[in-house]
Chains A and B, each alone.
Chain A
Amino acid sequence: MIAVGILGLLLGLLLAYLLLDIPIPGEWAPYLSLAALAGLDTIFGGWRAALEGRFHSDVFVSGFIVNALLASLLAYLGDRMGVDLFLAAVVTLGGRMFLNLSIIRRYYLNQWSLRRTRG
């Protein structure tokens, strides 16, 4: 699972850096960053769900798209209204990522200690 993820991420980064030379207007950059953050959040969420055995690909894909769009839209709206709404997205997504990561970490730690006591 991890190997697949890292491979995909590397492939994506390479694609973005080498092949796709999309000129992003400066004012779009923050929204794009938020979309990427939402994507990362979805990935950790999916990873955790897979470990807990309740991974559903439809939830996963729709979550990715909706979260990325919502985060960018919220930031855009915030900019229009003069409220730093993007902070809400950053805090929520960031907090959830840490939560998911800690659950993932505990799962692997558990497995490791189980294997050690058995072996």
Chain B
Amino acid sequence: MATGEWRTQILIFFAIWTVVGVLLGIALKAQFRLQTAELPSTRLPELARAYVQEKRTVQALETEIRQLRQKTTELENALATGTEQARVLNDSLQAAKMLAGLMEVEGPGIELILRDSQRRPPPGSAESLLVDLYIIHDYDLLRVVNELRQAGAEAIAINGQRLVATSAIRCVGPVIYVNDIKMASPFTIHAIGDPNTLLGALKTPGGVLTDIMEADPKMVEMRALETVRVPAYTGSTQFRFAKPVPSEEVAK
């Protein structure tokens, strides 16, 4: 074997070892990162199973939260039957809970359904550049919610998610998160308030729904309802950062 050939072979051997080393390194690092993320496995079918399992757990826990909060209200009411003082305290407590969206409420209101358009503009046409017009976005929901609040809506829920003071509506990829719950079209919005005022606000020419209606009237569906049920908020009510200011300081 000639020396030159031998040297090339060693060089190639070295190069391949290096490449394998890089591959191994990256693979190990990725695996390590996945394990620190506490995923049960890196294989897709198992991940899918775990995901479904977690989703079920979340649903069960949400039901539990709802039941427990209802139980709390009942217990508070039971406690308040004693003295006048307790009754007054309980009344203001229930009022605060209602304002915070922690109670299921019902009353006259509206139902508004927003869905992505079935229409697909022919590819290559000028319309196809405006494909955003045919999809319901997070900002559409935000503007609708804002409009409803302005028109005096007292309780609003999107697909069963009660909107409270800390609620966020945000687009993440193809879905929209409301209260950190993923949802996609169609969006059913329930609002309690004066039905005529609410519908009027939504139908205002040049208002929040004008662009959507112009793109495709089928994307919007709304009607007044005699009784609308809006569920209670089931998310976290823990404050991690905010603390009440002591009352002496408020007086100053």
Q: Which residues of A contact B (CB under 8 A)?
A: 1, 4-17, 20, 22, 24, 26-30, 32-33, 35-36, 39-40, 42-43, 46, 50, 55, 57, 60-61, 64, 68, 79, 82, 84, 86
9 closest A-B pairs by beta carbon, nearest first, are A12-B21, A16-B25, A8-B17, A39-B20, A29-B30, A36-B23, A12-B18, A24-B30, A9-B21
Cross-chain contact B25 with A32 (CB below 8 angstroms): no
| Main SS at interface, chain A | helix
Cross-chain contact A27 with B44 (CB below 8 angstroms): yes
Cross-chain contact B24 with A28 (CB below 8 angstroms): no
- Complex contacts, B42 vs chain A, CB 8 Å: 26, 29-30
| Interface size bracket, B side | 20 to 34
**Known contacts A4-B13, A24-B26, A29-B34; can you find 16 more A-B pairs with CB under 8 A?**
A6-B17, A8-B15, A8-B16, A16-B23, A16-B25, A20-B26, A29-B30, A32-B23, A32-B27, A33-B27, A33-B30, A33-B31, A46-B16, A61-B16, A64-B19, A64-B20
How many A-B residue contacts, CB cutoff 8 Å? 129
Would you list 5 pairs from A and B whose C-beta atoms are within 8 A, ordered by A residue? Answer: A1-B10, A9-B17, A39-B19, A43-B16, A86-B43
B122 adjacent to chain A (CB < 8 Å): no
Assuming the A-B contacts A4-B14, A13-B25, are A28 and B19 also in contact, with contact meaning beta carbons closer than 8 angstroms in the complex?
no
- Complex contacts, B14 vs chain A, CB 8 Å: 4-5, 7-8
Residue of A nearest to B44 (CB): A79
Q: Complex: how many Å from CA A33 to CA B23?
A: 8
Q: Complex: how many Å from CA A39 to CA B24?
A: 9
Which of B8, B9, B45 has the most chain A CB atoms closer than 10 A to its own CB? B9
A65 to chain B, nearest CB (A): 10
